[in-house]
Amino acid sequence: MAKKKIQKNRVALSGMKKKLGSLKKYLPVFEKQRAALNRMLQEEELIFQKLTSARETLLNEIDPWISLFNDSEVDISEFIRLKSIDTDKENIFGTSVPKFNSVSFDEFSIDYQYYPLWVEDGIAAVKKVVETDAKLAVSKERTAAIRRGYEQANQKVNLFDKKLIPETEESIREIKSALDAQGVAAIVIAKSAKKLQERKTAA
């Protein structure tokens, strides 16, 4: 793609200087945003790892309950059902990110005349696993959203730092060089005109 031709006059020079000032003003903002999102990304990835580890632990703890449910005539769906996962959105340095609040269940009363006492503890264990799964799902979405925000901020930093600012500085140098050349030419022309006038006067 051909480089856009720039005007080489003082108005253009003034415009380029203002543009450069704006670019250098906003570059630190994007750099700060990129750094903050990078920290957030690392923190969220650590949270996801901890939740994954916690889920594995819970699955090991719930294994005896699963065996009991499988070996008995108790159908856990008669007592508990996932109702909803409550989430919000939060703004992190210009990036919309999901936030986990809670999970809720439809629960039904247990008649202990017909069902064993361990059913209540088994349900509590299952609820922990379901809640952890919900947190994992939201953490995965948060990680993806934060990564997108980081990548966008990184693109802006690279655009400003490696393209827009160097190109604007180069344009300023070109305009200054052209104006300097025009100034030298004007001086030469003025001196030549003066000498010509002096010769005419002398004659």
Q: What are the residue ranges spanned by the domains of the chain?
A: 10-198
pLDDT band at 203 (very low <50, low <70, confident <90, very high): low
CA-to-CA separations, 189 to 127, 177, 182, in angstroms, rounded? 90, 18, 10
Question: What's CA 42's distance to the chain center, in Å?
Answer: 12
Question: Tell me: the pLDDT tens digits for 38-62?
Answer: 999 999 999 999 999 999 998 888 7
Question: Tell me: the pLDDT tens digits for 147-168?
Answer: 999 999 999 999 999 999 999 9
100-114, 138-152, 182-196: least confident range: 182-196
Smallest Cα–Cα separation from 24: which of 176, 164, 198, 128? 164
* More confident position, 181 or 36: 36
pLDDT computed for residue 46 by the predictor:
96
Contact 95, 55 (CB under 8 A): no
Number of Cβ within a 10 Å radius of residue 157:
19
Decide if domain 10-198 falls under CATH 1.10.287.3240. yes
* More confident position, 26 or 174: 26
pTM: predicted TM-score of the whole model, two decimal places: 0.75
